[in-house]
């Protein structure tokens, strides 16, 4: 089965990652804000930390797939689509890239194997990379060789966001920021053309949709319940359209979509930056979000095919009812009861946990208060270093896209 994710906590079997590459070295102070970074990571350190993350997953029985490898395999399977894919990528890279389209196309095709080509697309291409024979003299004369014709894609190591596994289907997303729009080209191509996925995965959302939707806002709470955050980066209209497509699939097991509305600010950019599941009945949550969070459920029926109900009970009771728990869900506060620790550790991805199996999670080691609280409540914490990875504003969940978990219907 190419995709099977019915839970946030069922044993993780297969995951998609992207190992950071030269795209991080192509961040500079003048562009890092536009490229959604608050600082410039040290590549060797980021790779060492990411390799430790991947090794930890393998040590716990998880098969690790890499995005660039799957993309190269998909292109090898469909070589007839290679040039068309490159042209689309170049055309979506902005007006300067379109002005050099033929030169960029020749350069990328000339790199040889698909893996090298994909890595160059992610790292970014400068004018100097094309050499002198580009049909233009003035840019080189004015020393513009360092100008990027294809911007780097430094956020790609956050594989959670461009698409999401939902049951045995997937949603391919329209990203909130144009900076990340090209990331979805890779996931879309893999799902449509890789031999392991093509024709086997129903798609519930499209990257051409008008409303932004990102994977960090999507949590598979159970086979029957999907949580989606209305956040800075996911629009209510997108959630409504996603729900209609899921409910239109007769094979989809989802009966209820729990919409959690959170403030649209960068610190809480996605639902999973403030709320993740760590066991069947236990969640870690940023305490500062609770007063501002509201909940709505979507079900089949009603106007336009959706029955919408506002939820007035506290979140722990809403979760207990939807997940059929015998008592209110346990909400553990990121940072504990200390207001300063809560703010600091939420900012450093303390709530952004990746569950490997019920009660076993991967976290960043820097979030000591939250990690200790998890352990005190019976959660096994597997921590990884994050001095460089966390500069991109994302934690272990952000850096991973589960493709297969054990079925727990």
**β-bridge partners, 333:** 285
In the three-class reduction of DSSP (H, G, I as helix; E, B as strand; rest coil), residue 406 is classed as coil
Handedness of CA 350, 351, 355, 358 (dihedral sign): positive
Structure tokens at 164: 């999401």
Tell me if residue 398 is catalytic.
yes
Please give the angle made by the CA atoms of 379, 384 and 386, to the nearest 5 degrees.
130
Give me the long-range contacts of 204-208 (CB less than 8 A, separation at least 24): 204/166, 204/169, 204/170, 204/171, 204/242, 204/245, 204/246, 204/249, 205/171, 205/172, 205/173, 205/174, 205/238, 205/241, 205/242, 205/245, 206/172, 206/174, 207/172, 207/173, 207/174, 207/181, 208/174
Handedness of CA 60, 225, 311, 294 (dihedral sign): positive
Which of the residues 226, 293, 398, 399 is marked catalytic?
398
Dump the DSSP string for 334-360.
TTTT-HHHHHHHHHTTTT--EEEETTE
Q: Are strands 282-285 and 330-333 parallel, antiparallel or unpaired?
A: parallel
User: Helices (DSSP H) in 199-272: which residue ranges?
Assistant: 236-247
Q: Which residues are catalytic?
A: 398
């Amino acid at each position: 089965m190419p995709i099977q994710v019915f839970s946030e906590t069922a044993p993780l079997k297969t995951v998609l990652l992207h190992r950071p590459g030269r795209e991080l070295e192509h961040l500079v102070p003048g562009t890092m804000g536009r490229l959604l970074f608050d600082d410039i990571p040290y590549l060797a350190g980021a790779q060492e930390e990411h390799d430790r993350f991947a090794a930890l997953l393998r040590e716990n029985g998880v098969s690790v797939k890499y995005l660039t490898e799957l993309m190269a395999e998909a292109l090898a399977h469909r070589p007839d689509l290679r040039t068309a894919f490159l042209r689309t990528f170049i055309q979506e890279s902005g007006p300067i890239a379109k002005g050099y389209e033929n030169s960029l196309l020749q350069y990328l095709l000339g790199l040889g194997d698909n893996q090298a080509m994909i890595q160059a697309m992610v790292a970014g291409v400068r004018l100097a990379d094309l050499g002198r024979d580009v049909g233009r003299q003035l840019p080189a004369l004015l020393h513009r060789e360092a100008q990027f014709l294809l911007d780097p894609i430094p956020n790609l190591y956050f594989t959670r966001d461009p698409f999401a596994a939902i049951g045995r289907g997937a949603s391919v997303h329209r990203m909130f920021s144009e900076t990340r729009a090209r990331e979805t080209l890779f996931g879309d191509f893999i799902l449509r053309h890789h031999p392991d996925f093509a024709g086997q995965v129903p798609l519930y959302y499209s990257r051409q949709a008008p409303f932004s939707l990102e994977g960090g806002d999507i949590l598979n709470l159970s086979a029957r319940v999907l949580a989606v955050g209305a956040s800075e980066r996911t629009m209510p209209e997108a959630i409504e359209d996603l729900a209609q497509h899921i409910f239109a699939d007769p094979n989809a097991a989802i009966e209820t979509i729990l919409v959690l509305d959170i403030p649209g600010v960068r610190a809480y950019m996605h639902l999973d930056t403030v709320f993740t599941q760590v066991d069947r009945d236990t969640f870690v949550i940023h305490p500062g979000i609770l007063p501002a969070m509201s909940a709505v459920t979507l079900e089949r029926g009603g106007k336009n095919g959706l029955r919408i109900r506002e939820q007035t009970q506290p979140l722990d009771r809403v979760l207990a009812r939807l997940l059929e728990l015998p008592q209110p869900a346990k909400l553990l506060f990121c940072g504990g009861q200390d207001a300063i620790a809560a703010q600091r550790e939420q900012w450093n991805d303390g709530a952004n946990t990746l569950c490997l199996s019920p009660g076993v999670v991967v976290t960043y080691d820097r979030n000591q208060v939250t990690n200790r609280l998890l352990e005190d409540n019976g959660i096994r914490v597997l921590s990884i270093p994050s001095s460089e990875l966390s500069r991109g504003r994302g934690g272990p969940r952000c850096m991973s896209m589960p493709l297969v978990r054990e079925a727990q219907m």
